[in-house]
Amino acid sequence: MIRILLLAACLFASPAWAAWDVDQLMQSLARNKVSRASFVEKKYLAMLDAPVTSSGELLFTAPDRLERRTLKPRPESVVLQGGTMTMTRGHREMALKLQDYPAIGALTESIRATLAGDRAALERHYALKLEGSQARWSLTLVPTEARTRAFVLQIRIDGEGGEVRTVEVEQSDKDRSVMTIQKAAAP
């Protein structure tokens, strides 16, 4: 019995079991070069009694292309490619250079850099705090720049293994949004 307990103690004390850290999380996320998922987002706005719900699909292609296609309540899309964000609703399209809108760039980078497993990109804008285990983790991003903190208090990203499951954004004005993500089945 004592041998079994010693063996178990050695296994749990070994480096392989020792710590689930941000580097391991980023490596796990970076393995997903292309992913497709459905989402449901609920926005809780102080001025409304009920959340505003939208749904659609997310498409990510490493290292820097993220597309969000909202299908309900009305079709629209947002595409992040490199340093440009392009928004389309109906026949109207608008493109923004993220360098001209640093707070928006930091917010969008929180999702894109997480999906890409790009720790350096995240740490340019956020202090990172990881909790949990590889099986179930939570990464909290707290903006380090005042201009981003003016809009966002924190972003909490929960996941399992190398997959993001929820993204919760707590805004400075006390509004918040929670996006639940379900990976699409392979075609």
* CA 158, 38, 73, 100 torsion-angle sign: positive
Q: Collapsing DSSP states into helix, strand and coil, what is residue 83?
A: coil
Total domains, the chain: 1
Domain-embedded: residue 3? no
Query: Per-residue pLDDT averaged across 3-20, rounded?
Result: 44
Domain-embedded: residue 2? no
Domain-embedded: residue 1? no
- Please, are residues 43 and 59 in contact by the beta-carbon 8 Å criterion? no
pLDDT for residue 113: 93
Question: Would the pLDDT of 11 be above 70?
Answer: no
Domain-embedded: residue 13? no
Q: One-letter amino acid identity for 60?
A: F
Question: Would the pLDDT of 81 be above 90?
Answer: yes
The per-residue pLDDT for range 82-132, each reduced to its tens digit, is 899 999 999 999 999 998 988 888 888 899 999 999 999 999 999 999 999
Domain-embedded: residue 71? yes
Q: Encode burial over 114-125: b for 16+ CB neighbours within 10 A, e otherwise.
A: bbbbbbebbeeb
Query: CB 63: neighbour CB atoms within 10 A?
Result: 15
Q: Encode burial over 166-181: b for 16+ CB neighbours within 10 A, e otherwise.
A: ebbbbbeeeebbbbbb
Question: Would the pLDDT of 29 be above 50?
Answer: yes
Which domain does 43 fall in, by range? 19-183
Q: One-letter amino acid identity for 154?
A: Q
Residue listed under structure tokens 């990109």: 121
Mean pLDDT of the chain: 88
CATH of the domain at 159: 2.50.20.10
> Per 3-state DSSP, what percentage of the chain is helix, strand, and coil (rounded to 5)?
30, 45, 25
Domain-embedded: residue 53? yes
